[in-house]
Amino acid sequence: MFGVYGVVAIRLASQSAPINETAMTNKKSSTPRRPRPADNAFKGETIRGGVNEPTYGGALSFMRRHYAKSAAGADLAIWGVPFDAATSNRPGTRFGPRAIRAASAILEGDPQYPWGFDPFAKLSAVDVGDCSLDYGNHDEVPREIEKQAKEILATGATLLTLGGDHFVTYPLLKAHAAKHGPLALVQFDAHQDTWHPEAGRIDHGSFVARAAIEGLIDVKHSIQIGIRTHAPATHDIEIVHGNAVETLGVAAVAKKILKRVGKKKAYLSFDIDALDPAFAPGTGTPVAGGLTSREALMMLRLLAPINFVGFDVMEVSPPYDQSEITAIAAAHVAMHFVSLVAMRRGTK
C-alpha cells in the first residue's frame, strides 16, 4: 500500500521516535471517568450545568436537560409541538421534536462552539416535554397550543419550541404577544408564509399574514431572511432574499436584522427550509438555493443584541432526512438560541 519508500519511512520514524508507553498510561485523561452517569433527564441533581453522558445512550431530552412537569424556577423551557396536519407538501414534522432531541445528544458535554462557554452554567433549563394534542380534532389544535404555551410563559421562563410544521408558530405568537405585546418577527425561511388566511383554515403557508392582520407582530420591525419563493403580499415586512445573502454577506445581513428590529422585543422563528436542501433535506417543502448551515449559525450569533423573548425551530421532517443531517442542523440552531438567552439573561 505504501510502497518500499513508505515502509522504510515508517520504520525510520518508529525507530527515531520511540513511544513512551509508561508516560502515556500514567497521564490522567481529560475525558470523564468511566462509567459515565446516564439518564440525567431523570436522575440528575440540578437543572444547571452540562453533563457527560455517552452520546449513544441514556434518556433523550433536549441536551440532556431534566424532564419537568413545570417550568417554574427555570430560565428556559424547551417544549415540543408534534403537529404536521397543516403542511401542504411532505408530512412528517410531527416527529421533528423527537429527532431534534436525539440529535442534540452529540452537542452536550462541551463548551458550545463558537461561544466558548457552557450556556447551562449560566442558565437553568428544563425540558417540559411535548404539547398534548388530540390528533383527531384539529379545530382544537390552535387553542391548545396557545393555552399550553401561555401556561409555560406564566412561569417566567423563556420558551424554545421544537416543531412541528410552521402553522404552530401562529398560536405561539398569540401566546407571546398576549404577554409582551406586538413583537418584531425575525423569520428565517424559504417562504414568506403570507398567503391569504382563510377563516378557520389551518395552513402553514399563511401564519405570518394572520399574525400581521391580527397585530401580533409589528411589521415595521419584522424581517424575513433567506426567502426563495414569491407570495402575493409582504404586509410591509422587510425581505432579504436568498440570493441577496450571498451578495451581501453574513455580517451585512445581520446588520440589516439589527437595524430593522431595533430595541423592539422580538420573536425568532427558524424554518429549517431556510437552509439549502444540501444541508437540510428532511423538510416538507425544500427549495434550492438556500443558506448554508454555517451562514445561518454565523448570522444567529451576531443577533445577540436583540431582546428575543421567544424562539422556535420548525419543519424538521425525519422521514425525509439523510443520516440525521437536518435534525443535527436544527439542534445546532436550537443551541444557538440557548446561547443567545444565556448571554442576555444569565441567571435569575
Residue 16, exposed/middle/buried by CB under 10 A (0-12, 13-18, 19+)? exposed
Helix (H, G, I), strand (E, B) or coil at 141: helix
Helix axes 325-344, 96-104, angle to 10 degrees: 70
Kindly tell me if the per-residue pLDDT of 15 is higher than 60: no
Q: Please compute the mean of the pLDDT values over residues 26-43 and round it to a whole number.
A: 60
Name all domains of the chain by residue range, CATH numbers in brackets. Answer: 40-344 (3.40.800.10)
Kindly tell me if the per-residue pLDDT of 22 is higher than 80: no
Digit-coded pLDDT (tens) for 297-314: 999 999 999 999 999 999
Asked if residue 100 lies in contact with residue 283, where contact means CB atoms within 8 angstroms, the answer is: no
Q: What is the pLDDT of residue 87?
A: 86
Kindly tell me if the per-residue pLDDT of 336 is higher than 60: yes
Q: Please compute the mean of the pLDDT values over residues 34-61 and round it to a whole number.
A: 69
Q: What is the pLDDT of residue 205?
A: 75
Q: What is the pLDDT of residue 198?
A: 80
Task: Give the whole-angstrom CA distance, residue 316 versus residue 50.
Answer: 25
pTM: 0.86
Residue 136, exposed/middle/buried by CB under 10 A (0-12, 13-18, 19+)? exposed
Q: Please compute the mean of the pLDDT values over residues 196-222 and round it to a whole number.
A: 89
Digit-coded pLDDT (tens) for 166-205: 999 999 999 999 999 999 999 999 999 898 888 778 887 7
If pLDDT is split at 50, 70 and 90, which confidence band does 108 have? Answer: confident
If pLDDT is split at 50, 70 and 90, which confidence band does 151 have? Answer: very high
Kindly tell me if the per-residue pLDDT of 6 is higher than 80: no
Average pLDDT of every residue of the chain: 87
If pLDDT is split at 50, 70 and 90, which confidence band does 2 have? Answer: very low
Q: What is the pLDDT of residue 31?
A: 55
Kindly tell me if the per-residue pLDDT of 146 is higher than 80: yes
Please tell me which residue, 344 or 227, carries the higher pLDDT value. Answer: 227
Asked if residue 40 lies in contact with residue 58, where contact means CB atoms within 8 angstroms, the answer is: yes
Q: Please compute the mean of the pLDDT values over residues 3-11 and round it to a whole number.
A: 42
Looking at the chain, the whole-number percentage of residues with pLDDT higher than 90 is 66
Q: What is the pLDDT of residue 283?
A: 95
Half-sphere exposure of 25 (CA within 13 A, CB side): 4
The grid cell for 342 is 444565556
Task: Give the whole-angstrom CA distance, residue 225 versus residue 253.
Answer: 8
